[in-house]
């Protein structure tokens, strides 16, 4: 199926590695002119170079207004904004009592406010054209909170709320707003976690694939029995970005192997 993305221009924030890089690559493969964003110039340029001649770069820290201004200026008018940049000031394993006020504020800046900054800067041009896609990348933790990393889960939950509010505010202007909520995805960080997990759980000298299966069965659990792949998130984003998805707005698409135990 032709997704109809050829000739569109898209900015993927936080795309110098991991899920964001995968989204940028697949959008480019569908014919988009992709803007790769990151804070590390070398890493960001390396991803853009691996994508090819149609990719450009935007460097800036989206937790600041100045950084957002620089990224918006480099990106120019875009048809698709994927707010993927995020993370936590501390670690995802931090307990409630370990996350101080600065951590809460910083994590909110990295996720919800960073997304709001880019929406404010890039949405008017989409509205003027009468077509656009805003896609916020949240997390399974937004709808199924866990005991650790409360600042991260709360910030991602805010992004879901923002998405629905934006969809209602946009109305029939031709711009849609949706979110994608990944579950556990096999990024380099998760591969490193699996390596540590094998040692900490006393699983012995098993392969990465065996550790993945055991983690998906015994720890999370994930009904499909494995951890997701970056490409699976990218495919969901490209589908939502497509002109064929014009009647989809305000939706949260879970790509989590059934990990979240809820209706949505």
Pair 14, 253: CB distance under 8 Å = no
pLDDT at 111 over 90: yes
Distance CA 142, CA 150 (A): 10
Query: What number is the average pLDDT over the span 14-30?
Result: 97
Query: What number is the average pLDDT over the span 39-63?
Result: 96
pLDDT at 264 over 80: no
> Quick one: pLDDT band at residue 92, thresholds 50, 70, 90?
low
What contacts 7, CB < 8 A, 6 or more positions away? 31, 33
Based on the residue annotation, tell me whether 152 is a catalytic residue of this protein: yes
Pair 259, 220: CB distance under 8 Å = yes
pTM, full prediction: 0.95
DSSP 245: G
> Quick one: pLDDT band at residue 53, thresholds 50, 70, 90?
confident
Distance CA 39, CA 34 (A): 17
* Choice among 32-36, 95-99, 152-156, 232-236 with the minimum mean pLDDT: 95-99
pLDDT of residue 193: 86
The single residue of 33, 152, 176, 233 carrying the catalytic annotation is 152
Residue 9 C-alpha from the chain's centroid:
18
> Quick one: pLDDT band at residue 163, thresholds 50, 70, 90?
very high
Distance CA 2, CA 65 (A): 37
What contacts 202, CB < 8 A, 6 or more positions away? none
> Quick one: pLDDT band at residue 178, thresholds 50, 70, 90?
very high
User: Do the bridges between strand 252-255 and strand 175-182 make them parallel or antiparallel, or are there none, so unpaired?
Assistant: parallel
The SS3 assignment for 35 reads strand
What is the fold of 9-184+229-255? Rossmann fold (3.40.50)
CATH code 3.40.50.720 region(s) in the chain? 9-184+229-255
């Amino acid at each position: 199926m032709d997704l109809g993305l050829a000739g569109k221009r898209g900015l993927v924030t936080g795309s110098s590695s991991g899920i964001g890089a995968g989204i940028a690559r697949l959008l480019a493969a569908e014919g988009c002119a992709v803007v790769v964003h990151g804070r590390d110039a070398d890493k960001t340029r390396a991803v853009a170079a691996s994508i090819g001649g149609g990719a450009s770069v935007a460097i800036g820290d989206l937790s600041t207004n100045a950084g957002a201004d620089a990224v918006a200026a480099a990106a120019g008018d875009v048809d698709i904004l994927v707010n993927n940049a995020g993370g936590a000031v501390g670690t995802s394993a931090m307990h409630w009592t370990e996350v101080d006020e600065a951590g809460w504020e910083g994590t909110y800046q990295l996720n919800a406010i960073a997304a709001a900054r880019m929406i404010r800067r890039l949405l008017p041009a989409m509205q003027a054209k009468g077509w656009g896609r805003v896609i916020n990348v949240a997390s399974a933790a937004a709808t199924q909170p866990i005991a650790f990393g409360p600042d991260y889960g709360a910030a991602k939950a805010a992004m879901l709320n923002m998405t629905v509010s934006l969809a209602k505010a946009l109305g029939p202007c031709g711009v849609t707003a949706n979110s994608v909520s990944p579950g556990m995805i096999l990024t380099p960080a998760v591969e490193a976690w699996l390596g540590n997990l094998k040692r900490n759980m006393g699983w012995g000298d098993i392969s990465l694939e065996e550790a993945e299966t055991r983690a998906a069965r015994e720890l999370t659990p994930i009904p499909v029995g494995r951890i997701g792949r970056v490409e699976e998130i990218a495919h969901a984003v490209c589908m939502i970005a497509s002109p064929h998805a014009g009647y989809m707005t305000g939706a949260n698409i879970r790509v989590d192997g059934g990990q979240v135990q809820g209706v949505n």
